[in-house]
Structure 1
Amino acid sequence: MSSEKKDLIVLGSGPGGYVAAIRASQLGRKVAIVEKEDLGGVCLNWGCIPSKSLLKAAQLYHDMGHAKEFGFSTSDIKIDFPQVINRSREVAGKLSNGVSYLMKKNKIEVIKGTGTLDSGNRLHVRDEQGRNTTYEYQDIIIATGAKPRPIPGVEPDGDVLHTYRTALEYRRQPQKLLVIGAGAIGIEFAYFFSTLGTQVTVVEMASQILPVEDREIAKGLEKVFAKRGMTIKTGASVEDLRVSGKTLTASIRVGDTVEKWNGDCGLMAVGVIPNTQGIGLEKIGVTSERGFIMVDEFMRTNIPNHYAIGDIVPGPQLAHKASHEGIIAAEAACGQAHHPMEYDNIPSCTYCQPQVASIGLTEESCKEKGIKYKVGKIPFSAIGKAIAIGEPEGMIKVLIDQEIGEVLGVHILHSEATELIAEAAIIRSHEGIAASVKQTIHPHPTLSESMMEAMAAAMGEPINF
């Protein structure tokens, strides 16, 4: 087995890993990144990026069906489902090549293979040909990401029963789909398939879809989906799931009632778990809990010179959170630990239509914390731009502190919610107050006016509603 010395190694090239590598290189370190698959990780290749291509296709199909409202006549709209999937794979490929370019631009060495940590600041890498190389490093940033959470006793086959990964390259449109889990992944796939004509049933154990979101917003989305023909069962569980040939059968419990379901496709969307098994954590003594590596606010583990970021550390498992952690870890490894990670101001986005986006506290969490708050709500039907573009559905809801008006949370249901939430993130990161937002001139007509109007509503001073 050969051995080489490296300055700083990043293990994993997802949105946390490759960003960390670039930032460390910018700060003068000689960086190597280890990746066993395509550069970009799950997000770029099998998650957030290709899925957005699919969701755009669904939105386009929906819009073409409503083109008559804008004066256009359309007929005989046909779905080329394999091409829908092919385009999403092409998008992922282009962006993976883009990460490869960034590695070259920043003089980052790419090492292909599977890495295993060992004592003495060593990383063993096994390549596709089975060759082993040991690398000795000064610092390492662990960014191995996550994988689909399994359901005990159920094995997805990638044909009838899927995880998000196989669903992204499945080129046959199902007739009847069962989605198990109504988090962001489950809801986005449910929207995609339902919009293209698949009969979709969603099962969620929690009392609402998108369990981490504001209840009122989640219920609003549920009503939209139900109106479009989607079947949603909350407070429900799947007790029996079986594949027989090309048929999937399930027993769904809702309270004391058990319902039978059968169709030709199922999606397991019950979340993800950290990829920390078998990477050698026990050999180096890194502290972990339930598979998550414990870190401080600068992404430092309990072992000096060892950092961890992304889905393998506590907190929401989101790409933008991982990227920010990557920058913090890289700076800390370079002796520039100046700004700590803050988990209270991470936007959450679900890209179905209408979209859901949020940041900060919900009403439920305010009540749990004993915080006195005021609420401002504005339907998008009160926003001129939303009506003009034919997207009046949804609302924006803001929570502000009852005494000083500090913005506690912002929750949006609208076709452009994920583009609007960034303003709320800036407001929250600067501990902004509603009065300041209200007094900021927003361009007209824009959807961003909804933020200003909602803040005014929370203060009891709405203008256009």
Structure 2
Amino acid sequence: MQKFDVVVIGAGQAGIPLAKKFAKAGKKVAVIEKRVIGGTCINDGCSPTKTMIASARVAYLTKNGAKWGALSDNFRIDYETVLKRKNDIIESFRNGAIKGLEKEKNITIFMGLGYFETANHVKVELENETVDIYGETIFINTGCSPRIPNIKGLDKTQYLTSTSLMELTEIPEHLIILGGGYIALEFGQMMGRFGAKVTILEKSDTLLPHEDNDVCVAITDIFKSENIEIHTSTEILAVSGDHRKTVSTKIKGKEQTFTGSHILVATGREPQTKNLKLSFAGVKTDDNGFIEVNDKLETSAKNIYALGDVKGGPAFTQIAYNDHLVIVDNLLKGKNHSIKDRIVPYCMFTDPQLGRVGITEDEAKEKKLNYKVAKLEMKYVARALETGETKGYMKAIVDAKTKQILGASIIGEQGGEIMSVLQMAMMGGITYEQIRNNIFAHPLFSESLNNLFMSLDE
């Protein structure tokens, strides 16, 4: 049995930096990865999707260039170039991650499926052999994969996931998307801009059911303006078909059938814990298979930790990365950090973006807080008018007494960047009055945070 101080199962956005920092600290580290180094983010998540979304935005601007006085004739999509650009970036990022691990002399990489025999004993099924590894401390960073719902006929029908959609070599003629969350919307708008007809079927009453209603309405209106067909309150009854796919539904009590060339299943993600044999290590999971952890990311088993999506909670790369910082500070630097009450920012990379941080207005109501809402439509933002990017709005929730910012929803060009300004204010305890009176460079999008908070004086 090979012995290590640290075993990292899953080389994702928490596992890689974690392994490197423990190795630099003089620990003997094993990294186990069953698929490819880099995890979902680099290989089939953030990097490739945002690369393709960027191509789709350029296509949209080119096609609609007359609005800015830039006319384009014979517009077409060179999808082969789109895919090559995406694949080149994946390869670059992945190779960088691999080299970063390989250059650390204290790291050994095992490419294979790892699972527990006991709390300290992990077996790894390599291509030609099975090896046994002993680890004093074990970190689980295996992430999530697309969740496939139990829909009649789905197991007999060829469908796409967020991973396989990016492997298509042609643009779908008509893409039917099951789901109306972040993944569904990013892919839906992207493929619509590449030329596909897109139909979105969402079971909830609105798109993005966890956001405030005005966010849902604004995003829905933006999508409809791009001729994307949206149906909410939709129950999927069955799917079928070979070359042509059929989706049978019931929408608000009325049966309706949709036919398209491709089906994308975007109904959420599930933890990759089924093959880990966690019970052998005494690691507890919830009813959905997510690993249960405390505020310091400790599992129910001593010296076993879980980081990133596999532990549940907000499923964002930035959370996984912050998880590794908490572990490093606590185990290598002797600190006592916690994941409790940390600020969680995120951005949906539709166009315009949705940047979100802190609480929503609905949450403020539920908690019966003494709050005020500042709101400014982008059509009143100077920079938005000048760039022709007037869709969306800025919205912030503030404490009426302390004047601290509690949360923000920014729908607009550079929405994530504007949100980040407010996140920094939240971290630093800067009041909305200070932002209202601050001098920003003119004419930036962030400059209109002055006007956003002036609305509270009316």
- Mapped to 1, the partners of 2:206 and 2:443 lie a distance apart of 34
Q: Does 1:258 align with 2:268?
A: no
Q: Would the alpha carbon gap of residues 212 and 24 (structure 1) be closer, same or farther in structure 2, given more than 3 Å must change?
A: farther
- Mapped to 2, the partners of 1:388 and 1:283 lie a distance apart of 61
After alignment, is 83-92 or 407-416 more displaced? 83-92
Match of residue 117 from structure 1: 116
SS across alignment from 2:344: coil
Match of residue 75 from structure 2: 77
- Mapped to 2, the partners of 1:343 and 1:248 lie a distance apart of 45
- Calculate percent identity across the aligned residue pairs: 26
- Mapped to 2, the partners of 1:326 and 1:158 lie a distance apart of 40
Gaps of 5+ in 2: none
Do the aligned partners of 1:248 and 1:266 also contact (CA within 8 Å) in 2?
A: yes
Under a length normalisation based on structure 2, what TM-score does the superposition of the two structures give? Answer: 0.95
SS across alignment from 2:95: helix
- Mapped to 2, the partners of 1:13 and 1:311 lie a distance apart of 13
Equivalent residue in structure 2 for 1:270, among 249, 267, 272? 267
SS across alignment from 1:316: coil
What do the CA deviations read for 1:393-430 (whole angstroms, capped 9, x no partner)?
A: 21110010122112111001112112222222222233
After alignment, is 211-220 or 340-349 more displaced? 340-349
Q: Does 1:288 align with 2:285?
A: yes
Q: Does 1:249 align with 2:246?
A: yes
- Mapped to 2, the partners of 1:267 and 1:62 lie a distance apart of 22
- Mapped to 2, the partners of 1:105 and 1:392 lie a distance apart of 48
Do the aligned partners of 2:348 and 2:354 also contact (CA within 8 Å) in 1?
A: yes
- Mapped to 2, the partners of 1:184 and 1:143 lie a distance apart of 22
SS across alignment from 1:239: strand
Under a length normalisation based on structure 1, what TM-score does the superposition of the two structures give? Answer: 0.93
After alignment, is 375-384 or 161-170 more displaced? 375-384
Q: Does 1:213 align with 2:211?
A: yes
Match of residue 126 from structure 2: 127
Do the aligned partners of 2:160 and 2:263 also contact (CA within 8 Å) in 1?
A: yes
Match of residue 96 from structure 2: 98
Counterpart residue type for residue 211 of structure 2? E
- Mapped to 2, the partners of 1:331 and 1:118 lie a distance apart of 29
Do the aligned partners of 2:189 and 2:350 also contact (CA within 8 Å) in 1?
A: yes
What do the CA deviations read for 1:171-192 (whole angstroms, capped 9, x no partner)?
A: 1211111101111100011001
What do the CA deviations read for 1:181-239 (whole angstroms, capped 9, x no partner)?
A: 11110001100111122111101111211222222122101101112111111111211
Q: Would the alpha carbon gap of residues 389 and 368 (structure 1) be closer, same or farther in structure 2, given more than 3 Å must change?
A: same
- The alpha-carbon deviation at position 255 of structure 1 amounts to 1.0
- Mapped to 2, the partners of 1:33 and 1:314 lie a distance apart of 22
Equivalent runs, 1:40-439 vs 2, <5 Å: 40-107=38-105, 108-129=107-128, 131-153=129-151, 160-242=158-240, 244-290=241-287, 291-334=289-332, 336-439=334-437
What do the CA deviations read for 1:368-402 (whole angstroms, capped 9, x no partner)?
A: 11112111111222222222222122111001012
- Mapped to 2, the partners of 1:417 and 1:18 lie a distance apart of 29
- The alpha-carbon deviation at position 270 of structure 1 amounts to 0.3
- The alpha-carbon deviation at position 26 of structure 1 amounts to 4.3
Do the aligned partners of 1:344 and 1:360 also contact (CA within 8 Å) in 2?
A: no
SS across alignment from 1:374: strand
- Mapped to 1, the partners of 2:196 and 2:4 lie a distance apart of 51
- Mapped to 2, the partners of 1:215 and 1:443 lie a distance apart of 32
- Mapped to 1, the partners of 2:251 and 2:109 lie a distance apart of 50
- Mapped to 2, the partners of 1:166 and 1:210 lie a distance apart of 23
- The alpha-carbon deviation at position 354 of structure 1 amounts to 1.2
Do the aligned partners of 2:151 and 2:239 also contact (CA within 8 Å) in 1?
A: no
Do the aligned partners of 2:4 and 2:135 also contact (CA within 8 Å) in 1?
A: yes
Task: Output the aligned Cα RMSD.
Answer: 1.9
- Mapped to 1, the partners of 2:215 and 2:318 lie a distance apart of 22
SS across alignment from 1:424: helix
What do the CA deviations read for 1:239-261 (whole angstroms, capped 9, x no partner)?
A: 1111x220110112111111111
Gaps of 5+ in 1: none
SS across alignment from 1:222: helix
How many equivalent residue pairs?
A: 456
Q: Would the alpha carbon gap of residues 132 and 160 (structure 1) be closer, same or farther in structure 2, given more than 3 Å must change?
A: closer
- The alpha-carbon deviation at position 319 of structure 1 amounts to 0.9
Counterpart residue type for residue 331 of structure 2? A
Do the aligned partners of 1:24 and 1:331 also contact (CA within 8 Å) in 2?
A: no
